[in-house]
Amino acid sequence: MHDLIQQLLLDSPFYQGASILLVAIFMALLAPLPREYQAFYWFSQLARSLSAKVARADRSANQQRVAGSLSVLLLVLPFWLILSFLLELAAFPWFFECLFLYLCLCDEQFHKVAEETGQALARQDKQRARRLLSQWVYRDTRELSEVGMSKTVIEKLMTTSIYGTVATILFFAVGGAPLVLGARMVKQLEYTWPALNPQYREFGRPVYLLSSLLYWLPTQAWNFTLAIQGGPGAVVQLLRPTKSPLPINNHLATCALAAKVLNTELGGPQKFAGQRVDIARIGTGPKPTPHTITAALRLLRLSKGIWVLSVLLIPCLWATLRLLAHA
């Protein structure tokens, strides 16, 4: 019994890490911050102010890419170093780890916005639906039709958990809160400077490529979670991912899988600052409606539940194996 207690004490950081993850995930879902008070919302505003000064269309493509690379370093490195150093100095680092994870998970509250948007569309209140979406996406929403808004909501729903729940769990397990925080900063810059937007086509390419590399594993893991719920056709879609010649925020394969599982059409042209960008439509099903948003919410809850359950079950299984080994 004494040896068993010693082993469990040695494993206490493992159990503490799982507890921090669970608390942060449930806090993000049950007690989210308003959009305008979120740290990464402010970070986006700072990034936009910087890009307004340095992302100039009159510069060559190489100059724009260099400016984009230096902007990423300028915005990410100082904040990341300061906050990581704070973790090292803190008397109770678990508190700050939980806080950082909570802030990195704030976009998980989009499911509530999706519900409200679906309800507004069902009432034909398109103006309210556009206002709700305009705070969460970096494309033009003023002229979106009901179908366009439904597609935007579903695509956002199906991709948010990649850099939210899934990346937080995987990165925290590998490198702790500093890795989660650094990767989340990069993802926020990718969304603020979307390479699909002609204004940021070259300026945003460095952060797009960095984000694609960082989030390759979380994306594949999330896509697998979606595919196993869609039957053999979705598994085939997973093994033969849809590719695009355009830099499309590295979530095209996820959207194609979601379209397959939900049997609907996603994708299509987008507008940025009045400029139309032609994007191929994906999926062979009918155009989405507010009812499709409801189905997407069910798919999201089940998929996210699988990941949250894994955080809960793995420590329990580990403790059970410890007990059996000493029985």
Full-model pTM: 0.90
Higher pLDDT, 55 or 164: 164
- Reference 289, options 172, 141, 120, 118; nearest CA is 118
CB 204 within 8 Å of CB 197: yes
What DSSP string runs through 102-133? Answer: HHHTGGGGHHHHHHHHHHHHHTT-HHHHHHHH
Q: What percent of the chain has pLDDT over 70?
A: 91
What pLDDT does 246 receive? 62
CA distance 114 to 132: 9
- Which of helix, strand or coil describes residue 236? helix
pLDDT tens digit sequence for 68-126: 999 999 999 999 999 888 888 877 888 999 999 999 999 988 999 999 999 999 999 99
pLDDT of residue 149: 93
pLDDT at 4 over 50: no
**Average pLDDT over all residues of the chain:** 87
Greater confidence, 73 or 139?
Answer: 73
